[in-house]
Structure 1
């Protein structure tokens, strides 16, 4: 999901795009770490941010899910 969201900011699959994906993932991981230590952070997230975090948790819980989404995207 983060991959697709990053396309709103930068369209082509180039180095800039993948740098953005890496940056967003890093920031998301930092938010997750903070959220696990402080439930107040979770309550302060906007619905879009909370949904993105939930999607990340689902993808991490089931690695096949991430692979299926990626393979569908790459092979329409």
Structure 2
């Protein structure tokens, strides 16, 4: 893992920079990054969310659950 600023950490992903399909919506694009983002503290525990950033064919990025991505 490599740290970035603001409490986010980049996570390696097997499909990085490849064409992917988000299984729940069918949206397609290139996987640009996967991060673990801090959500703050709840009930005394630090909470995180993993978020994938995918660049669609129109050039706009959208977020997705990294676990829902498959090779396109």
Bigger relative contact order, structure 1 or 2, given CA contacts below 8 A and separation 6+? 2
Query: Higher helix fraction: Structure 1 or Structure 2?
Result: 1
TM above 0.5:
no
TM range (shorter): under 0.3
